[in-house]
Chains A and B, each alone.
Chain A
Amino acid sequence: MRTVLSADEIRQLLPHRWPFLLLDRVIELDPGKAATGIKNVSVNEPYFQGHFPHEYIMPGVLIVEALAQLTAIVYCQGVLSEIAATSTSSQLETPVGPLVGKFDAKEPDVSDIQISSLVGYLVAIKAMKFKRPAVPGDQLVLKSRILSTFGILSQVSVTAHIRSEIAAEGVLIVSQRPANEGA
């Protein structure tokens, strides 16, 4: 299985930490557009202690959270590739995109950017179906694809597969962090 982003690299991009970092690996990535990621479900997950004491089932809302975290990766990588694009076309005095202005556009050093501070919020769960429970030992293959963006909001099509079966699918709306709240 290819690794586009390892767990260590994901940690650089997302502000989430244990026990709430629900993305183990990114295996496909089209920055700003779509991604595929992996979440391995282990019996040691802290939520299994209560959900449920007699039957381990990963809460559906946490599958949604994992999908939202993957979506944040899509967005962050989109911003990073935008910064890379503006740095190569250095004749542009004012770089495009509202977020780029915060950084030194002439010497964009990706390592200096607190990219995780750009991650916004989950705004709406428009439609979500849970077709199969996720239990210890399952590997969730998460997919996220940006459908449409208006202002700072984006509508996103998401699915979570376990092998060939759909475990969850639906449409989320996520926001970028409003510009005045940035780091």
Chain B
Amino acid sequence: MTLSYEETERLAIQRMELNRRIKAVLIERLGLDMSLDHLTDDQSLFGRGLGLDSIDALELVVGVEDMFNVSIYDGDMEVFGSVNKLADYIIDQLGGVPVL
């Protein structure tokens, strides 16, 4: 399947928007004292990255469910690796980039 330039651009913009929305969920749900721009797409969220813990993970599970209607299950811990991994998971579950 070959995408036209316009389609590729549209998908890229949708993807960026999705990532921004995930960051907004992260910041709001976890009460992070930082702006969207300081949270990068590939920054590690747990451990040495943002230093999130398992309580934050539960918070994110609820946040993602509310915002995107996507469930995250016990075995899916790796989706919290980064904003991009979470975005990939959401796209995978929804079968496409959610149109915002």
- A residues apposed to B, CB below 8 Å: 123-124, 147-151, 153-155, 173
Contact = CB atoms under 8 A, between A and B. Distances in A.
B57 A151 contact: yes
Interface string B54-98: 110111011001000000111001000000000000000000000
A153 B61 CA distance: 11
A153 B54 contact: yes
Contacts of A124: 55
B62 A155 contact: yes
A153 B60 CA distance: 12
B77 to A, nearest CB: 8
A147 B58 CA distance: 11
Contacts of A151: 54, 57-58, 74, 77
User: DSSP majority for the A interface?
Assistant: strand
Query: For B58, B61, B65, B72, which residue has the most chain A Cβ atoms within 10 angstroms?
Result: B58
Given A150-B57, A153-B55, 9 more contacts: A147-B62, A148-B61, A148-B62, A150-B61, A150-B73, A150-B74, A151-B77, A153-B57, A155-B58
Nearest to A126: B59
A148 B77 CA distance: 16
B65 A148 contact: yes
Contacts of A154: 58
A169 B56 CA distance: 21
A147 B59 CA distance: 11
B59 to A, nearest CB: 8
Contacts of B73: 150
Query: For A123, A147, A151, A154, which residue has the most chain B Cβ atoms within 10 angstroms?
Result: A151
Contacts of A123: 55
Contacts of B77: 151
A123 B55 CA distance: 8
A6 to B, nearest CB: 33
A148 to B, nearest CB: 5
A74 to B, nearest CB: 17
Contacts of A155: 58-59, 62
A7 B74 CA distance: 34
Contacts of B74: 150-151
Query: For A123, A150, A151, A173, which residue has the most chain B Cβ atoms within 10 angstroms?
Result: A150
Nearest to B73: A150
Interface string B31-68: 00000000000000000000000110111011001000
